[in-house]
Amino acid sequence: MLEVSGLHAFYGHIEALRGVDVTVNEGEIVTLIGANGAGKSTLLMSICGNPRAAAGRILFEGGEITQLPTHQIVRLGIAQSPEGRRIFPFMSVLENLQMGAAVTDPGHFDDDLRRVFELYPVLEKRRHQRGGTLSGGEQQMLAIGRALMSRPRLLLLDEPSLGLAPLLVKQIFAVIREINEQQNVTVFLVEQNAFHALQLAHRGYVMANGKIVMSGSGETLLADKEIRAAYLEGGH
Amino acid sequence: MTERSATTSPVLPPLDAVGIVREAGLTAFVVFALTFSLVGFKVEDVPGGLDIVTRFDQVLAATVLAFTGRVVLILLHKRRHLPVILVGLAIAAVILGLVVAARGAPESATAAWLPFESVVVNVLVAVAALVLAGRAAWSAWRRDVGVSDEAVELAARVHKAAIFLGPLMLGFAVVLPFLPFADRRLLDIAILVVTYVMLGWGLNIVVGLAGLLDLGYVAFYAVGAYSYALLAINFDLGFWVCLPFAGIMAAFAGILLGFPVLRLRGDYLAIVTLGFGEMIRVILLNWYEFTKGPDGISGIPRPTLFGLPFTRTDPDGGETFHSFFGLTYSPLDRIIFLYYLILILALVTNFFTMRIRRLPIGRAWEALREDEVACRSIGINPRNTKLTAFSIGAMFGGFGGSFFATRQGFISPESFTFIESAIILAIVVLGGMGSQIGVVFAAILLIGLPEFFRELQQYRMLAFGAAMVAIMVWRPRGLLAFRDPTIRLSDHDTAPEKQT
Ligand SMILES: Nc1ncnc2c1ncn2[C@@H]1O[C@H](COP(=O)(O)OP(=O)(O)O)[C@@H](O)[C@H]1O
Ligand SMILES: [Mg+2]
């Protein structure tokens, strides 16, 4: 579904991605783990064209999207919940969700809204509250909900568990599985919380210094000695 | 929360007198340094040349006022309400008493005790003291000092009331020309205020909704005015034919400005738009063959009601407004017509803005204001979104400009200086970015009141500045900063709220 090959990306002179190859197949949950500053967020962002790939190709459902403007990429069916959630703080929950549906046929709005409220009942309770006044977990749900409102076939999530209490993390991850299984949305998940992410994902990639250093199924990576040493023991 | 819990304990921390005096002294020193040269010396015309007059008494007064005001603010923040209330009331009582006692006898000994020569300034100082005392009393009652909830609550209440307040004010605006006290002067001020309300609403699209800080809005006002003037004079077209053209020209200017500034935000955007505004003015000033440069354009046709002019007799021998309707001629008719013209233009602007806020493009503007990266990630094209905001905002500026041209009958680049942009922006910011009714209040406050207080002369701008500073201190997000959601689910709303 998504095929990234030989991707290089820069911030000024800093090379943040140094030849990345990643494949995500339809129906999968694929996770990307790695230390802070490895380039995970950059990869997610450059799939959407910002920063633009300096070299390499990005294919989505067989079509080349490497040079498309960001807003057009989103229209193809890729939705992103960016790092730091980036909900609209002065808009109500409902308006945030409405913004997520900006690129779809307005006829779907009611159905899509109901689906999001089913996934996250708390959002329905808070629907008239300003986005900025939600708790961290609720904001994360809103960010994912907003992304879902555009009826994506591929959902890109950047650290949805960041700053959340362990119980909430479990909940967020359970819903991601639900989105994947019941709504047939392919998920590409960037996480630092390697343990949960690898448990959830079908396959995983490990990134360091702008390169993919390891890949395999979730279980293999979880069992890997080096990964346990680097990402699982100690911190988590 | 911490503030509130602190108030429950009756013991207040002791005051640090030295610190307070030092802080107030610093404020007073800044005011002194500023006023010493600006207010302290005045160049006056005397027979045979110029003379320098000193006004150190006023410098002293300003310094003392600043010192007192600062102490009051500190005391309020430290929850010492009582002394503020007492001193404020005392000052107000003394000044007002003296003013009343000295009425009609400006040379008397009583009058010499007044801090200022001008009666108006004295009264203003007394009112300021009263306001401070009242504020202290209010917060003592609320047991809550500072901006916080009460301000937000007030804004929310005003916006709720806007449902009634809006039509009420509109009704008042509609009948205003026929009220007994509506004379020429009042109507002129009203026209001016409504013009600025319209410009404020137009700029609100760019600044309030899309969040693009535009310091050059006057450029579009100028483009609209010159488009109308030149079209009307060179092609002999009427106001109503030219109006859409003027709007289109201004919108086009908006796009011209928009393209180079697409990547800029915040301060940088403000500086470039400021430059753009000046550029337009300089072009108008120097393109003599086309714009007549500094001489300006005169003889701009007055507007007509479907071809009926508002003159005593029609130069071409046709019907005029009063003869057609069988009325006696009154020069006020034209003023009233102009008033309704600008009122309609303003209402169109308002209606348009309220509508478009609920459409995808309007929502995209607001989203863009909040987070451009997030906008891209949900498929919004920031370039088109910004360009439409610039061009639609500019279009209303252009309409306003056409009105200005037809009202004045004469325009020159001098009418389109930076101060105009600054005032319009001040109206939007003070009103509370994005608040439609806030713009109305701010325009009345900033345009209407200073016009009424022309007697204040040079103090007018000082009061203007003071009002701006005061509002920025107490209401940094504007008088009525409050955002109404554009969507509600009415069917869900009727269900009782379990928990919020
Ligand atoms: N906007 C930016 N400008 C310059 N450098 C950046 C920017 N964003 C990220 N970087 C750099 O790119 C590298 C990768 O960052 P990022 O993709 O955010 O890492 P991760 O998400 O894995 O923590 C880091 O070295 C970071 O400092
Ligand atoms: Mg990151």
Nearest ligand (C-alpha, residue A51) = 1
pLDDT of residue B5: 40
Q: For B347-385, write each residue's pLDDT tens digit.
A: 999 999 999 988 889 999 999 988 888 898 888 998 899
Query: Per-residue pLDDT averaged across B446-461, rounded?
Result: 66
Q: Is A13 in the pocket of ligand 1 (CB under 6 A)?
A: no
pLDDT grade for B442, boundaries at 50, 70 and 90: confident
% chain B with pLDDT above 70 = 80
* Position B166 pLDDT exceeds 90: no
* Position B287 pLDDT exceeds 60: yes
pLDDT of residue B217: 93
Q: How many CB pairs under 8 A join A and B?
A: 87
pLDDT of residue B142: 61
C-beta of residue B377 within 8 angstroms of C-beta of residue A96: no
A74-88, B98-112, B120-134: segment of lowest average pLDDT? B98-112
B200 compared with B143, residue with greater pLDDT: B200
- Whether residues A125 and B381 touch (CB distance < 8 A) is answered with no
For residue B27, the number of C-alpha atoms closer than 13 Å in the C-beta half-sphere is 17
Q: Among partner residues B360, B363, B373, which is closest to A86 by beta-carbon distance?
A: B373
B176-180, B186-190, B317-321: segment of lowest average pLDDT? B317-321
Using a 10 angstrom Cβ sphere, with 0-12 exposed, 13-18 middle and 19 or more buried, the burial of residue B172 is exposed
Collapsing DSSP states into helix, strand and coil, what is residue A8? strand
| Structure token digits, residue A63 | 């079509």
Pocket probe for ligand 1: among A8, A11, A31, A211, the residue whose CB has the most ligand atoms within 8 Å is A11
Query: Per-residue pLDDT averaged across B475-489, rounded?
Result: 62
Detail the DSSP E strand segments found in B220-350: 297-298
**Is any Cβ of chain B less than 8 angstroms from the Cβ of A152?**
no
pLDDT tens digits, chain A, 236 residues: what are they?
999 999 999 998 999 999 999 999 999 999 999 988 999 999 999 999 888 999 999 999 999 999 999 888 988 999 999 888 899 988 899 999 999 998 888 888 999 999 999 999 999 999 899 898 999 889 999 999 999 999 999 999 999 998 888 888 998 999 999 999 998 999 999 998 888 899 999 999 999 999 999 999 988 998 888 888 887 765 44
Query: Per-residue pLDDT averaged across B178-186, rounded?
Result: 84
C-beta of residue B179 within 8 angstroms of C-beta of residue B400: no
* Position B412 pLDDT exceeds 70: yes
Q: Is A41 in the pocket of ligand 1 (CB under 6 A)?
A: yes
- Through-space distance between the first and last CA atoms of chain B, rounded to whole angstroms: 19
| Structure token digits, residue B377 | 């990630």
- Whether residues A103 and B366 touch (CB distance < 8 A) is answered with no
B129-133, B362-366, B471-475: segment of lowest average pLDDT? B471-475
B276 compared with B153, residue with greater pLDDT: B276
Collapsing DSSP states into helix, strand and coil, what is residue B45? strand
For residue A52, the number of C-alpha atoms closer than 13 Å in the C-beta half-sphere is 7
Distance of alpha carbon A150 from its chain centroid, rounded?
14
Nearest alpha-carbon partner for A104 in A68, A86, A77: A77
ipTM of the complex model:
0.85
Contacts of A96 (CB under 8 A, 6+ apart): A87, A88, A131, A142, A145, A146
Residue nearest to atom 26 of ligand 1 (CA): A37
pLDDT of residue B9: 42
* Position B149 pLDDT exceeds 80: no
Please state, in angstroms and rounded to a whole number, the distance separating the CA atoms of residues A11 and A46: 11
pLDDT grade for B6, boundaries at 50, 70 and 90: very low
Query: Per-residue pLDDT averaged across B470-486, rounded?
Result: 62
* Position B2 pLDDT exceeds 80: no
- Phi/psi of residue A216, each to 5°? 165, -175
Query: Per-residue pLDDT averaged across B74-97, rounded?
Result: 79
Protein fold of A2-77+152-232: Rossmann fold (3.40.50)
pLDDT of residue A115: 92
Q: For B201-217, write each residue's pLDDT tens digit.
A: 999 999 888 888 888 99
Residue A62 falls in which region: left (phi positive, over 0), alpha (psi -120 to 50) or beta? left
Collapsing DSSP states into helix, strand and coil, what is residue A50? coil
Q: Among partner residues A87, A100, A125, which is closest to B500 by beta-carbon distance?
A: A125
**Is any Cβ of chain B less than 8 angstroms from the Cβ of A80?**
yes
| Structure token digits, residue B450 | 């200073």
Q: How far is the CA of A41 from the centre of ligand 2 (A)?
A: 4
Which atom of ligand 1 approaches the CA of A51 most closely?
1
**Is any Cβ of chain B less than 8 angstroms from the Cβ of A115?**
no
B65-74, B309-318, B426-435, B481-490: segment of lowest average pLDDT? B481-490
* C-alpha distances out from residue A117 to A87, B23, B232, B379, Å: 17, 54, 58, 22
Q: A75 to chain B, minimum CA–CA distance in Å?
A: 6
C-beta of residue A188 within 8 angstroms of C-beta of residue A48: no
Kindly list the domain boundaries of chain A, sorted by start residue.
Answer: 2-77+152-232, 86-150
C-beta of residue B262 within 8 angstroms of C-beta of residue B376: no
Q: For B212-246, write each residue's pLDDT tens digit.
A: 888 899 999 999 999 999 999 988 888 888 999 99
For residue B104, the number of C-alpha atoms closer than 13 Å in the C-beta half-sphere is 2
- Phi/psi of residue A96, each to 5°? -60, -45
Neighbours of B149 (CB within 10 A): 12
List the alpha helices (DSSP H) in B39-176: 56-77, 81-101, 109-112, 119-142, 148-175
Residue nearest to atom 5 of ligand 1 (CA): A11
* C-alpha distances out from residue B438 to B427, B429, B446, Å: 8, 9, 12
Task: Name the residue type at position A234.
Answer: G
* Position B495 pLDDT exceeds 50: no
| Torsion (CA) B32, B33, B34, B36 in degrees, nearest 10 | 70
Please state, in angstroms and rounded to a whole number, the distance separating the CA atoms of residues A170 and A180: 15
Q: What is the 3-state secondary structure (H, E, C) of B138-194?
A: HHHHHCCCCCHHHHHHHHHHHHHHHHHHHHHHHHHHHHHHHCCCCCHHHHHHHHHHH
* Position B329 pLDDT exceeds 80: no
Q: Is A39 in the pocket of ligand 1 (CB under 6 A)?
A: yes
Q: Among partner residues A74, A87, A102, which is closest to B360 by beta-carbon distance?
A: A102
C-beta of residue A27 within 8 angstroms of C-beta of residue A203: no
